[in-house]
Copies of this chain bind each other. A is one copy, B any other.
Amino acid sequence: MNSAADKRVTLADVAKLAGVSKQTVSRVVNGSEHVTEDTRTRVLQCIDTLGFRPSALARQLSTGRSQTIGVVSNGGQGYLVSGVAYLGMVRQADKMGYALLIKEMTDFSSGSIRTMLDYLIERQVDGVIWAGPEIGDSHAWLDTFDAASLPMPLVAINAKPRPGVDTVSFDNFEAGRVATRHLLSLGRKNIGHIAGPTNRWVSQQRVEGWKAALAEAGTSEMARNVVEGDWDVHTGGPGLRRLLEICPKLDAVFVGSDRMAIGVLAEAHKLGLRVPEDLAVMGVDNLPESAYLIPPLTSMTQDTPRMAEVALRLLVRRICERRGEPYPEACAIPENPLLTHDLVVRQSTLCGKLASK
């Protein structure tokens, strides 16, 4: 290590070498007019000698703009969505000239939320993406949230739309309805649902959509065929076994995630159930791998990177609006958009006919 690198060169170092006040150095750096030409020259020489870099932070302090967006996540849970969403955000932020400041949140008490917001305010982020999933009452604080009380705009992703709060989410009710309609359209009479964790808003919405489709079809008696998984592959098999206990004639299953559906396919294989002849199986997420399972898995495409991109654009719109500046055309996002899933039908449900039992 050379000694120059041991310590960051500060404004004070420049001031000392130049024999002027820190304020004078600051004036030179910020191009203020209240400095004599001699002083300016001397300060600039000292900046050069010491390798002082006029700090982005100093500019932030005077302009109040950091070109940084705070992202609050809880990566420990549901890593797939968080991991993929990060990448969508990182790419979009980069395109629009922002850096992301990522902070982890594990505790959703109101004190922790206040601390997190204060942290982000202190760092002068230009806006906030609230990216943790809505679990139980983790987002209850948004019900009474006064957006104007924050010095920067906030957008929540994958959360229940609320009046006065910007959200970008998927239409999980519609996803549940479309999936269930698809299985009904195959003529299946004993359909079950392996839901995600039932304290999640996303799972609850899909269950509501499932119930709505059954009600439309006059088959609400199937609505009781629901068990709970945790999104992860290891809960698919046990979920299938519990459904078979509730409904021994089970002939189709709508699984809340492709990862759980992989567990269902493995368990069906063990039990000697043919997919789709004996049991039609479908998931949600449409992972790249899902087309290559045995058999290829019917699924609902959930474009998580796109959700993150849309949220970032909406946030940039709000940042511009607060500053009274025009926003880029790409940021003209409608209020509280609900992105839709696409049904992709593959072999795991493609056989309309049931095997004779």
* A-B complex: 3 closest residue pairs judged by Cβ atoms: A83-B83, A56-B122, A75-B87
Closest to A146 in B: B2
CB atoms of A149 and B79 under 8 A apart: no
Give the total of A residues in contact with B, Cβ under 8 Å: 72
Expressed in whole angstroms, the minimum distance between the Cβ of A347 and any Cβ of chain B is 11
CA distance A186 to B232 in the complex (A): 32
Which of B76, B102, B289 contacts A100 (CB under 8 A)?
A: B102
CB atoms of B289 and A269 under 8 A apart: no
A93 CB within 8 Å of chain B: yes
7 contacts between A and B (CB under 8 A): A5-B148, A10-B61, A57-B60, A57-B66, A234-B288, A259-B288, A269-B294
CB atoms of B266 and A64 under 8 A apart: no
A45 CB within 8 Å of chain B: no
Chain B residues with CB below 8 A from A232, complex form:
288
The answer to whether A83 and B94 touch (CB under 8 A), given A64-B8, A233-B288, A234-B288, is: no
Within 8 A of B (CB), among A23-66: 23, 53, 55-58, 60-62, 64, 66
Closest to A121 in B: B53
Which of B23, B237, B269 contacts A23 (CB under 8 A)?
A: B23
A1 CB within 8 Å of chain B: yes
A293 CB within 8 Å of chain B: yes
CB atoms of A294 and B266 under 8 A apart: yes
CB atoms of B73 and A83 under 8 A apart: no
The answer to whether A124 and B55 touch (CB under 8 A), given A262-B292, A288-B259, A289-B259, is: yes
Chain B residues with CB below 8 A from A233, complex form:
288-289, 291-292
The answer to whether A102 and B99 touch (CB under 8 A), given A76-B87, A82-B87, is: yes
CA distance A331 to B9 in the complex (A): 26
CB atoms of A73 and B90 under 8 A apart: yes
Expressed in whole angstroms, the minimum distance between the Cβ of A118 and any Cβ of chain B is 8
Chain B residues with CB below 8 A from A162, complex form:
none
CA distance A102 to B292 in the complex (A): 33
A133 CB within 8 Å of chain B: no
Chain B residues with CB below 8 A from A266, complex form:
292-294, 296
A7 CB within 8 Å of chain B: yes
CA distance A122 to B29 in the complex (A): 13
CA distance A104 to B93 in the complex (A): 9
CB atoms of A91 and B64 under 8 A apart: no
CA distance A103 to B296 in the complex (A): 36
CB atoms of B103 and A101 under 8 A apart: no
Chain B residues with CB below 8 A from A57, complex form:
57, 60-61, 66, 122-124
Closest to A8 in B: B64
A150 CB within 8 Å of chain B: yes
A322 CB within 8 Å of chain B: yes
Which of B10, B60, B99, B236 contacts A101 (CB under 8 A)?
A: B99
